[in-house]
Amino acid sequence: MSLLVVGLSHRSAPVSVLERASLNADAQLKLLQDTVAAEPAAEAAVLATCNRIELYADVDKFHAGVAELSTLLAQHSGVGLEELTPHLYVHYEDRAVHHLFSVACGLDSMVVGEGQILGQIKDSLARAQDLHTAGRLLNDLFQQALRVGKRAHSETGIDRAGQSLVTFGLEQLAAGADVRTWARGRKALVIGAGSMSSLAAATLARAGVAEIVVANRTFERAERLAQILSEGDDTDVVARAVPMDAVPAELTRADVAVSCTGATGLVLTAGAVAATMEGRAGAPVAEPAAGRPAGNPAVATVVREAAETPLPAAGGDENCPLDLSAAQSGFSVMGEAAVAGMDAATLEQHGAWAASGTTVDRPREAGRPNPEADAELISALAATATRVGRVPERRRPEPVAEVPRPQPVLFLLDLAMPRDIDAAVHRLAGVRLVDIESLADASADAPMAADVDMVRRIVADEVAAFGAAQRAAHITPTVVALRSMAADVVAGEIARLEGRLPGLDDKHRAEITQTVKRVVDKLLHAPTVRVKQLAAEPGGAGYADALRTLFDLDPETVASVSRAENSTEKNRGPA
C-alpha cells in the first residue's frame, strides 16, 4: 500500500487562501484526470469541501508523489506553488488512513462531530468511480471511511460534541439566544439550492421561521426546493422561489439570509447590503470610528456643544513634542488646527511622550506625503482631543467612549467557499454577518466532549484493521498465482498419466485426479494461511516477495491477477 494524501484545510491555511484554492466541479474532474495521467499515481480521488481540499492517490514513489500532487493542486487551484506549499500537509500510508477516518468521523471538521462530511466523502468516491480513477485501494479506503464514520455516529455521542455547520452558524447569529426563539416568525432568504442551502432552508423551517424565499440561478431548482419545504409534514412554513435578480428586493424584506452558492465572485457586496439597509431603515449604515460622529445626530450634537465651550489654557508642558504655544488661538475642540500639517513621526513622538514622558527620536520617512497620509493618526489624536478638551498632557489619555453599535436587524450567514458575502459587511451597522472565518474562530474554543475520546479509539482500531486487511490483500495475488501454478502442475501430471495408462477408465481417472488435488491443497493450505497472517502484521510486505522467490512464480502472472482484481474494484459502487 502506498497511499498518499496532500491537502490543505481550515487547520493549515487561512480562509483567504482556502477561498482562492477552492475547486469547482470541472476543476475537480480535470485534477483527477491529470493525477492518474501523472507518472507516480495509479489511482486518485479528490475531497473538496467548503473548508478543505485534499488529493488522495496510490503512488509508487513517495517523494515524487508529493512533488507531483503538490504541483497539480497548485496548477488547478490557481494559487502559486510557492504560496500554497507552506499551507499543505502530507500524510502517507497508515497516517493517511488515520486522517481520512478522522475526517469521516467529524474529528477534523470546523465544528467537531458534524455529519455532512460523510455525504461529501461519498460524493468524492462516486466522482472517482465515474471517471475510473478509483481502484482497489481507494475504493476500499473510502468505503471503509464511510463505515467508520457511520459507526462513530451510531456508537458514540459525537453528535453532541458539535453541530452541523448550518446549526452552529445559526447559533452564532442568535448570539447565545435559543435558536427557535430567535428564528420564530422571521422571514428568511436562502440563496442557492444545493445541498448546503437545502439543509439551511430545512433547518430554518424546523426552527420556526414564518417564510422562506429561495433564490437560485436555475429557477427550476429553486422551485423544487420551495415545493419540498412547503409540503413538509413537520413544518408549516410558507416557501416560494424567485430568480437571482430578485435578491436585492427580497433582501429588504428578509430578516435572515443564508447564502451558499458555487459562484466564483461575490453574490452580495457591501454596497448592495448597505443599500438594502438604507432602503429598509433610512439610517446610516457605516460603522462609526471610535469617538467620531460619522453622521450620528447625537454625537454631532455633543461635538457642536463642545466646540462652543472655551478651550482650557494649554499651559507649559515641558518637552512636549507638539508646540502648542505656536498654534493659532481659537483652534477647535476637535484639535484639527493644532495637529494640521504634522506628520506621523511627530504624532508618534507625542503619543510616546504622553504615555511615559519619553520623547522618541524617529526621523520622518523620506518621501512620505503630508498630511493626507497621516489622516488616520491625526483623526485618532483628534478623537482624544474631543474627549479631554485639548491635546493630551503628559499622562495616559482616558479611553474614548465608543458610539454604541445598533442592534442588528439583518442577519447574514455565509456558508460558501469562496465567500458569497463581502467581508466588509462586518462593518455595517444593523447587520450581523457570520461566515466561514468567524465560524472557525468561534469553534476554536468549543468544549470537547468525552465522546470524542471514544471516537478516537474507534479510529485507531479501524486504522489497524484496515492496514492489516490491506497488507493481507497485497499477498493475495501471489497466493492466487501459487495455487494457479499448482493446478497447472496437477493437470500436467494427470495428462502424463493418461499417456502412460491409455486404458484408464473415467472413474479411476477422476479418483486419481481428485486425490492428487487433495494432496496439493493440503500441502499448500498451511503455508498460504500462515503467510496471509504474517503479511497482515506490520512489516509483513516482504512475505509476498519471499513466496514468489521460493516457488519461482512468474511476476507477470502475479501482476495480471492484481490487474484483474483492480479493474473489478474500479467499478464498485459506494457503500
Residues marked active site are found at 50
387 is in an annotated binding site: no
Which three three-digit cell numbers place residue 35?
Answer: 493525477
Which long-range contacts link 173-182 to residues 24+ away (Cβ below 8 Å)? 173/256, 173/411, 173/413, 173/432, 173/434, 175/432, 179/207, 180/207, 180/208
> Do strands 41-49 and 52-59 pair parallel, antiparallel, or not at all (unpaired)?
antiparallel
Q: Cα–Cα distance between 98 and 96 in angstroms, integer?
A: 5
Q: Judge whether 111 and 164 are in contact, CB under 8 Å.
A: yes
560 is in an annotated binding site: no
Q: Judge whether 267 and 239 are in contact, CB under 8 Å.
A: no
192 is in an annotated binding site: yes
Question: What 3-state DSSP class applies to 288?
Answer: coil
85 is in an annotated binding site: no
Alpha helices for 38-131 (secondary structure H) = 62-77, 81-84, 94-104, 116-130
- Enter the DSSP assignment of 266: -
172 is in an annotated binding site: no
356 is in an annotated binding site: no
260 is in an annotated binding site: no
114 is in an annotated binding site: yes
Q: Cα–Cα distance between 460 and 438 in angstroms, integer?
A: 31
- Enter the DSSP assignment of 421: B
51 is in an annotated binding site: yes
Within a 13 Å sphere around the CA of 246, how many CA atoms are in the beta-carbon half?
17
49 is in an annotated binding site: yes
Which three three-digit cell numbers place residue 37?
Answer: 495521467
Find the helix or strand (DSSP H, E) in which 515 lies.
helix 506-536
357 is in an annotated binding site: no
> Do strands 410-414 and 187-191 pair parallel, antiparallel, or not at all (unpaired)?
unpaired
Q: Cα–Cα distance between 44 and 36 in angstroms, integer?
A: 6
514 is in an annotated binding site: no
28 is in an annotated binding site: no
For residue 424, which of 223, 553, 265, 272 has the smallest C-alpha distance?
Answer: 272
Residue written as grid cell 435559543: 178
Q: Binding site for substrate, residues?
A: 49-52, 109, 114-116, 120
Q: Binding site, residues?
A: 49-52, 109, 114-116, 120, 192-197
